[in-house]
A and B are shown apart, each in its own frame.
Chain A
């Protein structure tokens, strides 16, 4: 799959944002005054920024509002609704924290649940796709939740929890790669089943349909940069989990937390790039490519 920067930005930033908003909503940290403004602002900024980034991926962003209508069947629609509901539900808590209004924190609890639901819906957009066997696996939501929770905990300054969650994240990444590398074969789609000609013999491409490029090749049959996969996986683990964990264990200072989060983010981008670039869509079988 084409690792579109807009989608990588969206999933990483909004994942982190909703994870942090969940922490804020649960009151794990309870900032006040301008600190509250800054922290809630950071959470909202990450979540909303990510959402906005995702709209640049659309062919017709002017119609993005239509995406709220199909909650009954569409994970993408559910994600939009959950995201907006989260942001709305948490707004009074944020306002209350900022202005010291002392309003009930119950909406915060509900908002936190909604934030987690949002992360779940985002992950399900990918995990539901049978056409991308690597994604169509429990490790996809596991990875998304682990990223959100670990990132949220880091931002919330919960060093110990964050370290535990980073370990879980590392495990979820390794699991995603381990199972992911086997998923395509497990699902069993082959050039033989794609063409229905497998019973006759070994199928290979003679002439591609059209020698010119097309949307499918660009979007779904992205094969650039895969040879760096092993290196990138190590880099992702080191940057997203190992170094932030070590920093958090070594130093308890807001600047250290910031450094840990930034390193984590770079690692998260690498992991997410891999998430897309390594994902092989079954349509590639028609082109003899994966």
Chain B
């Protein structure tokens, strides 16, 4: 749409914008055509008039000449026959001609026989003179001469008045053309444009596509039809876009965005005052594994299955959504009580848990549900997803595959977790993290061979916090590397202290989080740190978990080899709890295996555990791996281990984790005292079960 930028259309733009816009098209057209039209019309008519003027001049000349000739003929006889009064009257007759100013007849002696004068001669007087020839049967003589003076005044006046008339007619025609153009342009251009603009404005206001109300069959009608078709297409596209924006393309379920709207609807349509809303936050367990194992297409198919099951498991008034990844939400707007909500959530879990066939293999889906129940008029209704997420977190971390109901305890836990997470930077900055040490003992000689570095958080409010609680937070906040370096540095410093204390043979073990194994610079950093503190890398033991090996086999192997080349000892931690692949023991460059305390705690009562540990011991012996049992708390356990052939042990029987100074004192005490069999009671309280021991 064209809009004139100059001031011409300015006064009209105070009205509706679209009218002004359409008017400016018309104006532009009029400004473009009317002056040309007027000019051409005036020039053409002036040209015609001028040529007509010249032709009239010529015609007048010719006419006067003819008049002179005819008068000469009429006058010849009376002149020759000297009827001068007749000559005068004949001459007088021509004075009716307005162009003729004067006329005279002269006889053959040159004397004026007759002379008539109509009016004083004005401008532009021309004269024509003709001989008067008389003849009869016997003779032909020139009897005299006629002279006629005539003026072009009437022609000038006529032409002038015609020009004025043409000008007026031209102006009127131009005016009429302008009016006609304005009217027709308004009808044929302005109106359809306004209709389309109106449709566009309405569409802009509420995002829906309105058709333009134009029914003509001309180009604008075609444009309007094309516009309407486009609007229709746009409308469909907008609908699809709206649907896409609020729905998950894979499962067709509403998405996270819809969830917000849904909650608003729920709160505004709260039925009875005490109606309860059940909010189930569903997370599939180990969906990543399915993707890794069967591929993403199968993963998508799996998700579609799950969504269909959820749809099938709910009532019409319930609402199912997929928030993304493996997260689903089911809202039941009215439940009787919390128990009913729990039952509903469990039914959902049951529905999900039916086996699914993927690539001809039956997969057992498993999910955890965080359930939050609130009154519909609860002002915190919009926080339902977060609340349910708290419960879900709990379920996933404490009891995967179950329903966790949000309660005060969980909320407290959540708030504490959140507090801790926020306090991590301050913890680093203020040195709140401490490395404690727990000794590993040669079960035969009862001598301490190694100290395991264990991280603790001395929180100013919450006191000593165990790694089991805050390590996931550290990992989530991306401070893993920093913490590892922190521990490494502390370990090296402690080695110095041990050496200084005359115990250079005691090594220190550090737990490496899985992410560190993917870091190729780790080996270099360890060497550099050891050099800095003047300790041998061979004094370090690096403990890894099976999980960290599984996730990144090639990279992990390479890192382990580098670390071993430094002289460090590699220990496999928590053996028996994870995948416990015996193949790992062979494939990776390991020196040491730590048997998880779960196998130790029931020993010697449990014959099965003794059998398992025995198998592990014989295998380790075969593979040349050193074995150490975790969680030694009682003396009979020591005996049992020695029977089985496990050389080393670690546990409260000997020493609880302690800050270095305490540990050093404890070591000094052991060295001076004889009671190696009497483990000293740790002077620091154990806050939480050992994370890594």
Chains A and B come from one and the same complex: no
